[in-house]
Structure 1
Amino acid sequence: MKTKGARNALEVAMNIVFLICGLIAVAFVLFISVYLVLTGLPAIREIGLVEFLFGREWASTAAEPKFGILPFILTSVYGTAGAILIGVPIGLFCAIFLAKVAPPRLTAVVRPAVDLLAGIPSVVYGLVGMIVLVPAVREWFHLPDGASLFAAILVLAVMILPSIISVSETALKAVPPEYEEASLGLGATWIETVFRVSVPAASSGIAASVVLGIGRAIGEAMAILMVAGNVANMPSLFKSVKFLTTAVASEMSYSAGLQRQALFSIALVLFLFIMLINVILNTLLKGKKG
């Protein structure tokens, strides 16, 4: 009886601990949301919502400042989309190779390399991109400056690979072997089984890896700051551009007054943008599972 009572008490205590941890996570999200709304809305009210979101000119330090962030929004969208278009196929094929094709000895070599890729700091990606990639882009395309949206897309594509590979590989390994055995028993080859049985069965996990990749691409600042040129132009593949994140990171240290409030407004837009993408993708995933 004492042992049973102690187990029940431990179970109640652990339930309380888990509840507290969950509430803390929710509280942090609510705190960040409320703080960004309170600090970002005053600037939007003063500038005007339409002018702020759809204005094409950002001149925060001019005599007559302008705070249009449409170039930042479009650049972030195009940069993230380009990184996903490049990174997802490469990451997915690498995950399939590691989970279903590669021999164990080769997997033992490639797997740590992927883990190491995930552990490299953002500033190192940016440094390598600035020293190697930017001059290469300048020479390849005969540009006056290689710091561009194209260079940023390539860096982001490399940076999202570890998330996509790790999560997709885990999802592929979780596919019940009975599915694959049944496919092979019906006469399918191993590659046909992988692409027609294993990949569809792991689609929810693969989609989750894409969500993580999008979050990493949208939220990156340091590496992009070093390779994108940091100029508030409308997005063009071979022009210097500025992302939402780099706009905040590059000006927050010396900002004041309305400029500082406008930067908080950018952070609010970025936060809402990421939340919207997560909600949409999670809804699609639940609909697919249903």
Structure 2
Amino acid sequence: MSKKEYLIEKGLFSITLLMVLIICLVVTFVVIEAIPAFDYYGVFNFIFNTNWAPDNNQFGIFPMIVGSIVITAIALIIAVPLSLFCAIFLEEIASVRLKNYFMPIIQTLAGIPSVIYGFFGLTLIAPIIRNVFGGSGFSILTASIVLALMITPTIISLSQDAIKSVPNYYREASLGLGSTQWQCIKSIIFPVALPGIITAIILGIARAIGETLAILMLAGNVSSMPSSIISPIRTLTSNIALEMGYATEIHYNALFATAIILFIVIMCLMIVSTYVQNKCALKEVI
């Protein structure tokens, strides 16, 4: 190994080590700031109590946990089928000209700031929900629809890359045995690309559950248990964004504790998704 290669290797290692250290410092800082809230209110009460009233020293975040999970789940139910069908169409069915026309549009949608999606939902989706279902229009359903629009371009792009990575001889062998194009896609291409598609969905989950501004504008921000999908709700991220500017003392620590719970929820989702991905990859190898 030359001296130049040695220096490059050590430099890359140092940068990687620095990033790990920064992440550990951030997590440590959040945990230290959250401990007083857990000591004061109790971990169980903090997670499962349904009353969030900082003026009365009530810090129950269970409705916000439910809100974050429900909004993310509904957004995925809407976004995943649309994204997968679009990715399959663009990569396996559409002509090169049509593909080159649509891909820049999808990539542009992925780069639009969340505040723009929030304004779109505010002026178009919320009035429609209000006129059709009643209520204020600021609800779980409104936030979920806009969130689905936000994560769809990411899932499409990554799913398309996964489908593109399937070797061509898989397609040729399937079609050579008499399969139709749809049979080839359903039985060969999709199962082989499934680990990559699951990775795309994982990133969609991470984007959805961590979204703040658009949800802040559309979900209604009511810290109580929802009774239906047209009820307003507050998520973990929007709760932190709304109250961090004026929180003091134990209220301030409770917001850091909310961040810890958000981190744990994301980690649990990632662990489950990674397990499913590894099972799919193992099945493919077998």
How far off its partner does 1:9 sit? 1.7
* TM-score, L = length of structure 1: 0.94
Cα distance in 1 between the residues matched to 2:182 and 2:198: 21
Cα distance in 2 between the residues matched to 1:130 and 1:103: 36
> What amino acid maps onto 1:42 in structure 2?
P
Match of 2:49 in 1: 55
Q: Confirm or deny that 1:35 pairs with 2:26.
A: no
Cα distance in 2 between the residues matched to 1:11 and 1:188: 50
Q: Structure 1: 5+ residue runs without aligned partners?
A: 1-6
Q: Confirm or deny that 1:157 pairs with 2:151.
A: no
How far off its partner does 1:10 sit? 2.1
How far off its partner does 1:252 sit? 0.7
Q: Confirm or deny that 1:89 pairs with 2:89.
A: no
Count of residue correspondences? 281
Cα distance in 1 between the residues matched to 2:193 and 2:180: 19
Match of 2:175 in 1: 184
Q: Confirm or deny that 1:195 pairs with 2:186.
A: yes
Match of 1:226 in 2: 217
How far off its partner does 1:144 sit? 2.9
Identify the match of residue 139 of structure 1 among 131, 134, 139: 131
How far off its partner does 1:185 sit? 0.6
Change in 2 beyond 3 A, CA 1:144/1:289:
closer
Instruction: Calculate percent identity across the aligned residue pairs.
Output: 39
> What amino acid maps onto 2:22 in structure 1?
F
Cα distance in 2 between the residues matched to 1:87 and 1:214: 11
Cα distance in 1 between the residues matched to 2:15 and 2:94: 40
Q: Is the 8 A contact 2:135 2:230 kept in 1?
A: no
Match of 2:207 in 1: 216
Deviations 1:201-238 (A, max 9, x none): 11111000000000000000000000111111213311
How far off its partner does 1:176 sit? 0.2
Q: Confirm or deny that 1:78 pairs with 2:58.
A: no
Cα distance in 1 between the residues matched to 2:186 and 2:15: 40
Q: Is the 8 A contact 2:194 2:280 kept in 1?
A: no
Cα distance in 2 between the residues matched to 1:66 and 1:154: 31
Cα distance in 2 between the residues matched to 1:191 and 1:278: 31
Match of 2:19 in 1: 25
Cα distance in 1 between the residues matched to 2:32 and 2:68: 24
How far off its partner does 1:284 sit? 2.6
How far off its partner does 1:29 sit? 1.9
> What amino acid maps onto 1:187 in structure 2?
G
How far off its partner does 1:264 sit? 0.7
Would you identify which runs of 4 or more consecutive aligned residues in structure 1 move more than 4 Å?
none
> What amino acid maps onto 2:34 in structure 1?
G
**2:238 aligned counterpart, secondary structure:** helix
* TM-score, L = length of structure 2: 0.95
Q: Is the 8 A contact 2:138 2:220 kept in 1?
A: yes
> What amino acid maps onto 1:32 in structure 2?
V
Q: Structure 2: 5+ residue runs without aligned partners?
A: none
Identify the match of residue 120 of structure 2 among 118, 128, 133: 128
Identify the match of residue 257 of structure 1 among 238, 249, 255: 249
Cα distance in 2 between the residues matched to 1:32 and 1:266: 15
Match of 1:4 in 2: none
Cα distance in 1 between the residues matched to 2:218 and 2:4: 53
How far off its partner does 1:17 sit? 1.9
